[in-house]
Amino acid sequence: MILTLMFLSLVTFASVGCGSSNDYVATNNSPTTTTGNLAFHFQQAVAQTVDTVPAGTTTLRFDFFSTNPPAQSSLVFAESRAYAELITFTNVPSSVQSVLVTAFGINNEPLATFHGDVTVVIGGTTDVDLDDAQAVTLTELVATPESAVLSAGNDVQETFEATFSNGSVVDIPADLLTFAFNPDNNTASINSSGLLQLQTVGQSTTLTASLTLGGVTQSDTVAVQTVAFDVSAAPTTLVAGLNAITYTAMFQNSDGSGLNIPEADLTFSLQSAPTGVTIASNGDITVPNGMSAATVMVDVSWTDTRPSGDPLATESTFTDTVTFTMGNGGNAGNAGNAGNAGNAGNAGG
């Protein structure tokens, strides 16, 4: 009997103390949870109270920090969510101690900010209470470029940025702005996309763009000039060999006055020409023998290098195109620009 009991004890000891390796790992190496869940409750109203976002809120951005008060250097993570009455974050690190919530409108403009203390309960879910909303106000509107030189066929695209009291800088669609020209002399127009276009050559005006958000209006101005750059050439009919061309260039200032551009200040390049046709730095064109029924297009450019203190200076480059055709005889041909003379090209504005 004694021997039997000893045998059974040994068997029991072996069964308990010598389990499989899998059982051992599962019993002694359970992962340690270091995260928890955070729940935010929101509602929309015109009045701003605790956890109440401004009417029109479409997006909420959450910035989680490891310090309180928060500092950018202690940012743990940030995430944006579409507005909802209940927003839950899972697996939030236990190091998070505070949160900054920013409410944004449909055009990504910030409307208000909220701050809250955070206590992450490991393995659990905690509701976060936010402080009263701090309204975000519009502080500046910037139009780019700040000056525009318009010429026929060459428009200028304006873009707009708004700065807010929380430091946010947001691109603002032009259709949210109001525009006014002073003087309103039909010099230029601007469409709902912010595209400035020429209306009358030889005039200037000032465009004022204004944005109103949250009862606050900010404005910026754009100086607008309208000019013309016209080039004519003689002859415009080419023959085989070297064709000596005389170019005449005229620039019309924004005050309506004219400026004759010396030929030495012009630059020339072939826009479209048959193989073998070349152009010299002075605009002379060489055509190979045997060529007929050809069209040669030359871009003629001028850079306005007048000092910036000159009120008529544009600091821009303008281009006009002259079209030449092949003839059967000598260099006889009509003087003038057979291309798009009269359409100034503002390549630099």
Q: Are residues 67 and 104 in the same domain?
A: yes
Taking alpha carbons only, the member of 103, 101, 112 closest to residue 58 is 103
Q: Are residues 182 and 242 in the same domain?
A: no
Q: Are residues 209 and 259 in the same domain?
A: no
Residue 258 lies in a domain: yes
pTM to 2 decimal places: 0.73
DSSP reduced 3-state for 276: coil
Q: Are residues 110 and 146 in the same domain?
A: no
Phi and psi torsions of 7, nearest 5°: -65, -45
DSSP reduced 3-state for 190: strand
Give the tens place of pLDDT for each residue, 185-241: 899 999 999 999 999 999 999 999 999 988 899 999 999 999 999 999 999 999 999
Give the tens place of pLDDT for each residue, 133-180: 889 999 999 999 999 999 988 899 999 999 999 999 999 999 999 999
At 241, which CATH number? 2.60.40
Q: Are residues 126 and 150 in the same domain?
A: no
Taking alpha carbons only, the member of 110, 57, 113 closest to residue 83 is 57
Residue 5 lies in a domain: no
Given 197, 226, 255, which residue is the final one in a domain? 226
CA 172 to centroid of chain Cα atoms: 10
At 163, which CATH number? 2.60.40.10
Domain that holds residue 98: 35-135
Q: What is the DSSP letter of 311?
A: T
What's the total number of domains in the chain? 3
